[in-house]
């Protein structure tokens, strides 16, 4: 399997008046051709910033301070703006969280789709229009000609997100970063959107990073999963391994807090405490203060290590697994 993306040691920090926010602080992962990887974490864990770092869309006061992002073998961390602009929307696309906010309200759908093609390929407007129409058809939008003439506010949220997905696939990219694309939608629409996205990646062989806080979404969609906490990946592995037998106490907690049918009536597991203040992270393991499997060793920073075919950042994997089951 050829690797589309290799991220190693990525650090993206924000230099604010109040101090340095280490939003992403040493992240490693790879994505292979046609693979869907779930990037899971609470809000503020740095998962979206990781996505924006790959696209080179980090604005001051933030910047990538360390690490490498190799895309098809080419180093693109802190690459020239021209090169990044060339990749964005062309080889790497992004789907945003809130479809109500991402489409420009005063431009018609066709304008916004056609410009995405014309920015990267010297084709005629007519050709670009036809490709846009076909892309809308592919994501299950009825009468695409009519939709192309519409303004965003005339479309429903689910419809707008389909437009965004169609736009992301327009230039047949190698990688799509989907940043919580279904969070703002109804559950039924959510399932349809996930289905469309999955179908399209299969068809086109596009790799995908699906960023979400919802483990249930990733479980049925991704092949591999990376769990982030406070700017670092704490556990990474095949989706079935991690879901069936989580090793990191944070993953255990996340899974325990998902309501499922077969544990009906039981009290849901709750991770103690609050998401950490990114300006004042605790010494040692960032999850330490909230961890039910904490030992004295946790006063130090655990490094990420390979155990049982997965990566893990924890001193006490066994204790973690025992505590809940």
Partner 1 sequence: MTVFIIRRLLQALLVVFMMSVIVFFGVNIVGDPVYMLVSPDADQADIEAAISRLGLDRPILEQYWLFLKGAAQGDLGDSFIFGEPALRLILHHMPATMELAFSALILAIVIGIPLGLYAGLYPESRMAKGIMAASIFGFSLPTFWVGLMLIMLFAVELRWVPATGRGDLGSFLSIQSSLFTLDGLSHIFLPALNLALLKISLAIRLTRAGVREAMGLDYVKYARAKGLPMRRIILVHVMKNIMIPVVTVMGLEFGSLIGFSVVTETIFAWPGMGKLLIDAILQLDRPVVVAYLMIIVLFFVLINLIVDILYSILDPRVRLQDQGA
Residue 297 binding partner 1, by CB under 8 A? no
Residues touching partner 1: how many (CB under 8 A)? Answer: 28
Q: Is residue 182 a contact point for partner 1 (CB under 8 A)? A: no
**Choices 150-158, 185-193, 195-203, 253-261; region in contact with partner 1 by CB under 8 A:** 150-158
Rounded to a whole number of angstroms, the minimum distance from the CB of residue 259 to partner 1 is 30
Tell me if 80 contacts partner 1 by CB under 8 A.
Answer: no
103 binds partner 1 (CB under 8 A): yes
Near partner 1 by CB under 8 A: residue from 7, 24, 87, 138: 87
Told to check if 62 binds partner 1 by CB under 8 A, we report no
> Interface with partner 1 includes 109 (CB under 8 A)?
no
221-259 in b/e form (b: 16+ CB < 10 A) is bbbbbbbbbbbbbbbbbebebbbeebbbbbbbbbbbeee
Judge residue 10's burial from the number of C-beta atoms within 10 Å of its C-beta, 0-12 exposed, 13-18 middle, 19 or more buried: buried
User: Among 262, 171, 209, 178, which residue's Cα sits nearest to residue 38?
Assistant: 209
Sole binder of partner 1 in the list 154, 257, 260, 318 (CB under 8 A): 154
Should residue 311 be labelled a site residue for partner 1 when binding is judged by CB under 8 A? no
86: contact with partner 1 by CB under 8 A? yes
* Radius of gyration (C-alpha) of the chain in whole angstroms: 20
List, edge to edge, every strand of the sheet that includes 62-71. Answer: 19-32, 3-16, 62-71, 74-75
Please report whether residue 151 would count as binding partner 1 according to CB under 8 A. Answer: yes
Q: Which is nearer to partner 1, 206 or 316 (CB)?
A: 206
Would you tell me which residues interact with partner 1 (CB under 8 A)? 55, 57, 85-90, 93-94, 96, 98, 101-107, 115-116, 119-120, 151, 153-154, 164, 167
């Amino acid at each position: 399997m050829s690797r589309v993306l290799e991220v190693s040691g990525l650090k993206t920090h924000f230099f604010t008046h109040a101090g340095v926010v280490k939003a992403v602080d040493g992240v490693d992962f790879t994505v292979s051709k046609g693979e869907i990887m779930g990037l899971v974490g609470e809000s503020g864990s740095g998962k979206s910033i990781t996505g924006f770092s790959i696209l080179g869309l980090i604005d001051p006061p933030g910047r990538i301070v360390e690490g490498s992002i190799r895309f098809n073998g080419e180093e693109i961390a802190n690459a020239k703006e021209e090169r990044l602009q060339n990749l964005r929307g062309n080889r790497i696309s992004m789907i945003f969280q809130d479809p109500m906010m991402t489409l420009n309200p005063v431009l018609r759908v066709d304008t916004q789709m056609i410009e995405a093609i014309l920015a990267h390929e010297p084709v005629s407007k007519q050709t670009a229009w036809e490709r846009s129409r076909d892309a809308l058809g592919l994501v299950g939008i009825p009468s695409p000609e009519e939709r192309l003439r519409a303004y965003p506010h005339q479309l429903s949220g689910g419809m707008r997100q389909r437009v965004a997905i169609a736009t992301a696939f327009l230039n047949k990219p190698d990688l799509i970063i989907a940043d919580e694309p279904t969070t703002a939608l109804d559950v039924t629409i959510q399932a349809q959107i996930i289905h469309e996205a999955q179908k399209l990646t299969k068809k086109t062989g596009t790799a995908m990073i699906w960023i979400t806080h919802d483990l249930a979404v990733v479980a049925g969609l991704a092949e591999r999963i990376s769990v982030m906490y406070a700017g670092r990946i704490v556990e990474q592995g095949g989706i079935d391994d991690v879901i069936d037998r989580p090793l990191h106490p944070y993953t255990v907690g996340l899974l325990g807090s998902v309501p499922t049918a077969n544990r009906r009536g039981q009290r849901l597991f709750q991770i103690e405490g609050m998401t950490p203040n990114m300006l004042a992270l605790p010494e040692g393991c960032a999850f330490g203060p909230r961890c039910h499997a904490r030992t004295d060793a946790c006063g130090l920073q655990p490094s990420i290590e390979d155990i049982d075919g997965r990566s893990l950042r924890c001193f006490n994997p066994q204790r973690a697994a025992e505590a809940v089951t």
